[in-house]
Amino acid sequence: DAGVTQSPTHLIKTRGQQVTLRCSPKSGHDTVSWYQQALGQGPQFIFQYYEEEERQRGNFPDRFSGHQFPNYSSELNVNALLLGDSALYLCASRPPGQEDYGYTFGSGTRLTVV
């Protein structure tokens, strides 16, 4: 049973460009969250998707947007990339109706903005 799958693994982009990161949740999971983890820091919550809608959002600018598809997979889009967007982006999923449940994380996408 595959866990959470993220693609690509690594990505290098130029400042000002746009990027799309992809996530497939674990089988049976319908809630997807995205986190940004800067080097040496803990992950920071970007937003969460459930039933194809953004349900919660962290303190990130509108340059960060997302989408969830009917098959529960999700995308994270970042526009007008800044050097400070360089980080590990993590996707996490959870089963339906399980608020009191640990998340399953993917291995992340390492984004480098130059």
Of the candidates 17, 56, 77, 112, which one interacts with another protein according to CB under 8 A?
A: 56
How far apart CA 97 and CA 50 sit, in angstroms, is 11
Query: Side-chain half-sphere of 32: how many Cα atoms within 13 Å?
Result: 33
How far apart CA 82 and CA 80 sit, in angstroms, is 6
Q: Which of residues 70-99 bind another protein (CB under 8 A)?
A: 88, 90, 92, 94, 99
Site map for another protein, 3-42, x if CB under 8 A? Answer: -x--------------------------x-x-x-x-xxxx
Asked if 50 is part of the footprint of another protein (rule: CB under 8 A), the reply reads yes
